[in-house]
Structure 1
Amino acid sequence: MIQEKELVKGLSTAEAEKRLSTYGYNTLMDKKKISPFVIFLAQFNDFIVWVLIAATIISGFMGEMSDAITILIIIVINAILGFIQEFKTEKSLEALKSMAAPTCKVIRDNKIKVVNAECITIGDLIVLEAGDRIPADAVLVEAGGILLDESLLTGESVGVIKSTLNKENYVYMGTTVLKGKAKAKVAQIGMKTEMGKIADMLQSIEEEKSPLKEKLESLGKIMVIVCIIICSIVTLLGILRGQPIGDMFLLGVSLAVAAIPEGLPAIVTVALALGVSRMLKRNALVRKLPAVETLGCTSVICSDKTGTLTENKMTVKALYFDNNIYYLDKENTEGNIVLKKAFIYCNDCNYNLSEKDIHKALQGDPTETALIKVFFKDTSKLKSFLDKSIRMFELPFDSSRKMMSVIIKEDSSETCYVKGAPEKLLDKCSFILEESVVKALTPQKKKEILRNIETMSSNALRCISAAYKEKGITYNSFLEKELVYIGTAGIIDPPRREVKDAVLKCKMAGIRPIMITGDHKNTAFAIARELDMCKSIDEVITGDEIEVLTDKELQIRVKSIKVFARVTPSHKLRIVRAIKNNDNIVAMTGDGVNDAPAIKEADIGVAMGISGTDVTKEASSMILLDDNFTSIVSAVEEGRVIYDNIRKFIRYLLSCNLGEVLTMFLASLFYLENPLSPIQILFVNLATDGLPAMALGVDPADSDIMSQRPREKKEGIFARGLSEKIIIRGVLIGVCTLLTFIVGKIYGYPLKLCRTMALSTLVLSQLFHVFECRSERHSIFEVKIFTNLYLVAAVGVSITMLLCIIYIPVFKNIFSTVALSVGHWLIVIFFSGIIALINSLYLWFKTKR
């Protein structure tokens, strides 16, 4: 008895929780997680660090214990900073994985609920529809026949028909529903499923190394070689001048450590992970890190209409039957009884008739629920209406037919009811119902119907027509012919209020927003015009028009098209390819299983988080958690911000490191004493490279970031003059530091004082430069300093560290520094700030001009 109840109402919440504690969660063995201790140890697995440790040991043997201990402390601090970066990245990615966990529909407490797949248990009654990924091994208990893709298990690409009427009634975790609807009782979960035996084949998120990160790692290797060569030259020149070999070896190693931007790939990863977290807060879940980079290049966004550009709150506003259009906000009508039956019976809506509120009682597609709410305001009346009928057979809706058909048994007679796209359905009709009389559907009458439907569509109404037949009923696909046309419902789905601003933002950013929809041409145009996506009907094209175009002709036409109406998934694939062939970077949205090819073809595949199927989500690069077009635009903006921030800290790190190398190299070249000691070089690396660079990674966007044209996808990270900026600023940092040292020597200051002034100049010039790096288009005067408090804090920490080693006796002894007077600071500030001031004034005048 309990089992029979479970097959109808599903498990109760209490029973499900009890079974979860008994059988465990529906999860597969994941790859072994890296422990925090291993992550920390990995920070020392670096060639330069090994050399530095060796140098520390040598220093110890040579009696320089204070130097050795200090260097060791700096190594550990660097390792801790690296560990924090990587640990945060791991945590961010884990959080993203949990957000991307697949969901499924399950009947609990006689209600359909959407839960994480890992929370279903043995005996749960799951609801399966086209596009769903099956969450566990289960036995079908209700299905007229569904088509599954079991290629993940079998390797066979041909769909498999499953039914409760034969032995093929078992469905497996990880396989997907291609067509049809069903209910199934969970038999096995987790590692006991067929998928559990090949668990390594199924991962919830694919972790891909970012192409940008790969490029920077390659750049890092080149820089390592170049820096080692330069540092070797500096070391050799010092030895040739008679400097002690041990001191020069330590100097060379220290300089190499400071010069090589070993943290660059790690900071890129952190910037990407933090950016992905920010996108998540704006309802965009990124599944693949390379998508973050590509987002900044997006030049075309192809968006579905329903639910993305519109609210997806469907309401029937008009009914057309008996040669009249009845606008329901102006007139009262209950419609035609046959039209009512067609829309109620031929409907995929799920019911919870124990719920009194009609809005809560209906669950499913908003269009389906709207077609019921127009006829019923009361759940009890709906229940008594449905109790009189039995569904005997169903031909589910699919995107090629654009129709759905059911055979309903009332009393002892059977009737076929059909609903679908007006033009498709009318092609199947031979008769029309007028004033309760069936008449022949003449070509003139058909034209009249289409004219009235055009009128409804031009008022932004989405039109769905209904038909029926009582004779010649067959339980197969030949059912849909010689139908009797009944009437049409006009449904309104108002545009989202915030989308109009998002469309304007796209246009300002050089991004072309395009609507792709299955709706009627006039309906699509009316919505697009209201959102300022297009102005003329000439900018709209239909699927039928696309059919007669060659790929080359379509490639030319898409340049001027803003709206694609009445399109099929195969059309979407052609549209995406045509737009891409015009050298565009395309973001494409979709929700149905048939949208997956177009989403995969797009540069950025965007799946709907609410209405999207599991197949679509897995083919996508990004999931919209709120199905909102505005979230795509926000994600594009975040993509641009992330890329800009990566350029910022690359500019900062490389120019600063170049300045450090040149300071020492030029001093050796001109036979000057070393401006910095080995331990001072390591201090500069510690004080300026880590925190300020990381703070640049979370810098807010430039105010005009969405006023810039999209960057080219093939554009190198050093494009748009970045390499020149790095070289020029690096040279200036090096030269100014050396000039400070030389001025000290000219005034006859002791070596310790000259080195302290050079050290202070090098640190401060880099800290001034970090504020310059916040924008490539604006000066320091235009960028508000306190909009990035992390950077202000990081610079504050670096300056505090500098003052500590200059004025606190214990640190003065360790770092061989002396206290600076006001006069000394004036020299330091002049040389460290003059270049930043000149550069900022130049940018300010350039912007004003």
Structure 2
Amino acid sequence: MPYNIPEHLKGLNNNEVTLSRKKYGYNQIDNTDKNTWLELLINILKEPMLVLLFAISIIYLIVGDYGEALFMFLAIAAVAAISLYQDNRSRKALEALEKLNEPLSKVIRNAKIIEIPTHEITVGDLCIVEEGKMINADGEIMHSNDFSVNESSLTGESLSVFKSSESDDNKVYSGTLAVSGLAVIKVEKIGKETRLGKIGVSISEIKEETSPLQLQIGRFVKGMAIVGIIVFAMVCIISYYHTRSLLDSLLNGLTLAMSVLPEEIPVAFSTFMALGAWKLMREGIIVKRSSIVETLGSTTVICTDKTGTITENTMQLKHIYNFATDKVFDENDFSNSDLSTIIDYAMWSSEPVPFDPMEKTLHRLYEKSRKDDQRKDFQMIHEYPLEGKPPMMTHLFENTEKERIIAAKGAPEAILNVSTLSENEKNKVRDIIKNLGSQGFRILGVARSNFQGNNFPEKQQNFKFDFLGLVVFYDPPKKGIQEVFSHIYNAGIKVKVITGDNVDTTRSIALQAGIKQTSQAIEGKDIMEFSDEQLLQAAEEKVLFTRMFPDAKLAVVNALKKQGEVVAMLGDGVNDSPALKAAHIGVAMGSKGTEIAKAAAALVITNDDLDKLIVGIASGRRIYANIKKAVQYIISIHIPIILTVSLPLFLGWVFPQIFTPVHVIFLELVMGPTCSIVYENEPMERNTMLNKPRKMTDTFLNWKELSISIIQGLLITAGILFIYQFTVQNGGNEEKTRAMVFSTLIFANILLSLTNRSFHYSLFESFKNRNILFPIVSFVTLIMLAAILYINPISDFFHLTGLTIRELSLSGGIASLSVLWFEGYKLIKRLNKKTK
């Protein structure tokens, strides 16, 4: 069995798994079905708009107007159905994301190592936990190798604890993280029975932090609700003064309250975020929190690792430097007998079952060059994990004859520092490292040591090492990476390369990848010596950050945040997790990323392709722009509805109740889908990714944008009130006036939804952004208007009459004038921008 796991650990067989599953269930803390259809429906029926509709329906029943009451109940069903459809789409999108977020776990079953979804772990399973992985059940350590675990999620203690089967505390717990080594754990408790389950901590129960946009939208909706309550009271009082009828007054007040309440806005926000996350999932980008979609569009700085992100992570071995002969061998000469010792020790210093591309290459080279493979004869007896500044690692092996191999590899500087070489010899090697590094090669130093007895030094740096030489890898930049960075720079986003590699290698690869301003670099050790002011300056000015370790990475990310930058941090290792968690957007690699990195990140790129982050940023910008358009549309169209309901009453006009609840609810049924479904489907505008990122501190709707929406609403109101007075002055009765006003508002609504597709480009330019939902919704609305006007039972129900072609043309013409002036405003704006 691989991983050097004892053969007696065979795990459960299929029958034992079935019996255990029946007895203990699945490894889930929350087994209940969240958000069932019934719960969704109950939540929807609590919405303020439906409460108002119920109140109006009851009033109609009391006064004996059963037709109106029936329509209101049908409206309740329609509003609930639309809300249920939107909520269900959001729920399914989030459930799909949750499934993708579930990690796989390695278990031994039937004497074979397999990967299973974490929720399928059962009591009695033997789980294999490696460095960087999350522990997903409580259990006892059966076998381990230099295994340490971070239990801060349970104990609050940040320092890792070494554990083994022989230690006093040989238990591990779900929700903790393996920091080093490997362990085989026999599962004793799962799901709710784990320590994590008993204290009631679940990822699904952790509340997302409210984003600035959510707060701003929440404040706006609350403000509108307060306005609605005030105006509702005014209308009730004035109406009662004129009519002395309490029920009629309540009906008028409730009609206005319906027109004021912008209940589409919070629905639109949640729909946009959930569906945005779902669409990104289809692109191979798993978003852990749907609200992060909004933040993506604001990214101002991308901090990226080099290996596997900018490069292919293929790690082709190009050269070997043998110190004994002072010669650099290329790949055609690796069979030379002079290299046997350095090849052997480079392999022994790697993991016995390698997962790193460099270590896989070294194992393959060993197989080719060694006639007698000794890997089965030697067992690892001690391991020093990759650590230090710069890092190195050391492995100790022993066979049955007590022959011992002590092999180390790591950053060349780290190996030189612990070697027995003289300073002159070290300088000679450093010159070779600099020459190779400037060509973009990744370089590791290799050394060996001797040690008698089992009282091993606490630190690997305390061994006396003989320097053997260098293994030199080439990891070429990914194909098309220059185009990716070109898109990033065009979007006004800065790039920082934060890597553990040396300066020369990093600079060479960065230049090949098309990264700008690479002349100056800074190392992690220097970062930690800076004052706060120096750190802020360095983080802002420098592009290449080399020989970085966790504290240094975290310091750079925090410094960039203090400068007001919105930071996306890309990482894949245990050492990246603090910076990933601290960044506004932590981005983990799906293929080669550790579970710790994925747990700390807010976003996971499944195929490790940096270009996917650009897709995410573009999606974030599109969603933010579309939410803005939807909200501005809602504000603009609510103003004429509010004023058309209230002004005739306040001003004592001849037909004070020009709109009843029936008309307002019809308009709501048109506006709701337009706002949250149609605008959500709107493609990204041209040149969106050529604009600078918006600032996170920017107000969602500044006064200029809000003023435009208010002016749009007021001008539509002016057109509608003009039609009202024009019809009355020309002898129109209440039904004719209502038909003219209602038709004008419907035409204006359609035109407004179309012209607000862009606040920069023309209406005709926007048609190039194909969105099939706009023509569908517009066509269906016009068909319904025709039915209301010309099918007698329906027109009688809506208390209006049919219009002639001339009257329809006048209605459409006034609607066009009251809306399409905005196209002229946009034209002037575009011309002014060109002249600047």
Residue aligning to 1:168: 169
The amino acid of 2:715's aligned partner reads L
- Paired residues of 2:659 and 2:738 also in contact (CA < 8 A): yes
Q: Distance in 2 between matches of 1:561 and 1:783?
A: 41
Q: Distance in 1 between matches of 2:565 and 2:117?
A: 37
Q: Distance in 1 between matches of 2:769 and 2:160?
A: 59
Within the alignment, does 1:387 sit opposite 2:369 as a pair?
no
- Paired residues of 1:551 and 1:574 also in contact (CA < 8 A): no
Q: Distance in 1 between matches of 2:371 and 2:591?
A: 27
Residue aligning to 1:341: 344
Within the alignment, does 1:759 sit opposite 2:720 as a pair?
no
Q: 2:362 aligns with which of 362, 371, 391?
A: 371
Q: Distance in 2 between matches of 1:443 and 1:209?
A: 54
The amino acid of 1:580's aligned partner reads K
Residues 115 and 401 from structure 1, CA distance in 2 versus in 1: closer, same or farther, beyond 3 angstroms? farther
Deviates further, 828-837 or 8-17:
8-17
The amino acid of 2:413's aligned partner reads E
1:458-477 matches, within 5 Å, as: 458-470=438-450, 475-477=456-458
1:602-751 matches, within 5 Å, as: 602-672=583-653, 673-674=655-656, 675-719=658-702, 721-751=704-734
Q: 2:412 aligns with which of 414, 419, 422?
A: 422
The amino acid of 1:416's aligned partner reads I
Q: 2:544 aligns with which of 556, 563, 568?
A: 563
Shift of 1:78: 1.1
Residue aligning to 1:436: none
Which secondary structure does the structure 2 equivalent of 1:385 belong to? coil
Q: 1:527 aligns with which of 485, 498, 509?
A: 509
- Paired residues of 2:577 and 2:600 also in contact (CA < 8 A): yes
Shift of 1:261: 0.9
Which secondary structure does the structure 2 equivalent of 1:374 belong to? helix
- Paired residues of 2:393 and 2:460 also in contact (CA < 8 A): no
Residues 348 and 110 from structure 1, CA distance in 2 versus in 1: closer, same or farther, beyond 3 angstroms? farther
1:232-271 matches, within 5 Å, as: 232-241=233-242, 246-271=247-272
Shift of 1:205: 7.0
Q: Distance in 2 between matches of 1:796 and 1:747?
A: 31
Shift of 1:227: 2.4
1:143-158 matches, within 5 Å, as: 143-158=144-159
- Paired residues of 2:264 and 2:675 also in contact (CA < 8 A): no
Shift of 1:11: 5.7
Residue aligning to 1:413: 403
Q: Show CA shifts across 1:193-215 (max 9, x none).
A: 343433x2132573426433343
Which secondary structure does the structure 1 equivalent of 2:203 belong to? coil
Which secondary structure does the structure 1 equivalent of 2:764 belong to? coil
Residues 774 and 334 from structure 1, CA distance in 2 versus in 1: closer, same or farther, beyond 3 angstroms? farther
Shift of 1:545: 3.1
Within the alignment, does 1:323 sit opposite 2:326 as a pair?
yes
- Paired residues of 2:626 and 2:682 also in contact (CA < 8 A): yes
Q: Distance in 2 between matches of 1:775 and 1:330?
A: 64
Residues 256 and 193 from structure 1, CA distance in 2 versus in 1: closer, same or farther, beyond 3 angstroms? closer
Shift of 1:807: 1.9
Shift of 1:469: 1.9
- Paired residues of 1:688 and 1:767 also in contact (CA < 8 A): no
Residues 523 and 295 from structure 1, CA distance in 2 versus in 1: closer, same or farther, beyond 3 angstroms? same
Shift of 1:426: 0.4
Corresponding pairs, count: 821
Within the alignment, does 1:493 sit opposite 2:475 as a pair?
yes
Q: Distance in 1 between matches of 2:783 and 2:333?
A: 73
Q: Distance in 2 between matches of 1:825 and 1:330?
A: 88
Residues 747 and 332 from structure 1, CA distance in 2 versus in 1: closer, same or farther, beyond 3 angstroms? farther
Residue aligning to 2:568: 587
Q: Distance in 2 between matches of 1:334 and 1:307?
A: 32
1:5-404 matches, within 5 Å, as: 7=8, 20=21, 24-30=25-31, 33-47=34-48, 49-107=50-108, 112-198=113-199, 200-203=200-203, 206-208=206-208, 210-211=210-211, 212-241=213-242, 246-321=247-322, 322-328=325-331, 333=336, 336-350=339-353, 364-377=355-368, 384-398=373-387, 400=389, 402-404=391-393
Shift of 1:171: 2.0
Residues 64 and 282 from structure 1, CA distance in 2 versus in 1: closer, same or farther, beyond 3 angstroms? same
Q: Distance in 2 between matches of 1:693 and 1:748?
A: 40
The amino acid of 2:788's aligned partner reads I
Q: Distance in 2 between matches of 1:335 and 1:9?
A: 42
Deviates further, 612-621 or 707-716:
612-621
Deviates further, 152-161 or 282-291:
152-161
Deviates further, 286-295 or 275-284:
286-295
Deviates further, 751-760 or 665-674:
665-674
Q: Show CA shifts across 1:215-252 (max 9, x none).
A: 32332222122123334434544555559654443233
Within the alignment, does 1:456 sit opposite 2:451 as a pair?
no
Residues 12 and 525 from structure 1, CA distance in 2 versus in 1: closer, same or farther, beyond 3 angstroms? farther
- Paired residues of 1:213 and 1:269 also in contact (CA < 8 A): no
- Paired residues of 2:138 and 2:172 also in contact (CA < 8 A): yes
Residue aligning to 2:426: 446
Q: Show CA shifts across 1:750-792 (max 9, x none).
A: 3212211110111110111111222222221211266111232
Residue aligning to 1:353: none
Shift of 1:327: 2.5
Shift of 1:167: 4.1
Q: Distance in 1 between matches of 2:287 and 2:371?
A: 42
- Paired residues of 2:498 and 2:546 also in contact (CA < 8 A): yes
Q: Show CA shifts across 1:533-581 (max 9, x none).
A: 124432x222233244223112112222111111111110111122122
The amino acid of 1:324's aligned partner reads K
Deviates further, 496-505 or 573-582:
496-505
**Structure 2 unaligned regions, length at least 5:** none
Residues 781 and 328 from structure 1, CA distance in 2 versus in 1: closer, same or farther, beyond 3 angstroms? same
- Paired residues of 2:734 and 2:800 also in contact (CA < 8 A): no
- Paired residues of 1:752 and 1:816 also in contact (CA < 8 A): yes
The amino acid of 1:127's aligned partner reads I
- Paired residues of 2:75 and 2:665 also in contact (CA < 8 A): yes
Deviates further, 10-19 or 160-169:
10-19
- Paired residues of 2:634 and 2:675 also in contact (CA < 8 A): no
Q: Distance in 2 between matches of 1:152 and 1:114?
A: 25
The amino acid of 1:507's aligned partner reads Y
**Structure 1 unaligned regions, length at least 5:** 351-362, 431-440
The amino acid of 1:391's aligned partner reads M
CA RMSD of aligned residues (A): 2.8
Which secondary structure does the structure 2 equivalent of 1:587 belong to? strand
Residue aligning to 2:488: 506
Residues 233 and 205 from structure 1, CA distance in 2 versus in 1: closer, same or farther, beyond 3 angstroms? closer
Shift of 1:79: 1.8
Deviates further, 696-705 or 51-60:
51-60
Q: Show CA shifts across 1:169-210 (max 9, x none).
A: 332222222222223333443344343433x21325734264
- Paired residues of 1:652 and 1:769 also in contact (CA < 8 A): yes
The amino acid of 1:779's aligned partner reads S
Q: Distance in 2 between matches of 1:816 and 1:785?
A: 40
Residues 349 and 639 from structure 1, CA distance in 2 versus in 1: closer, same or farther, beyond 3 angstroms? farther
Shift of 1:13: 7.5
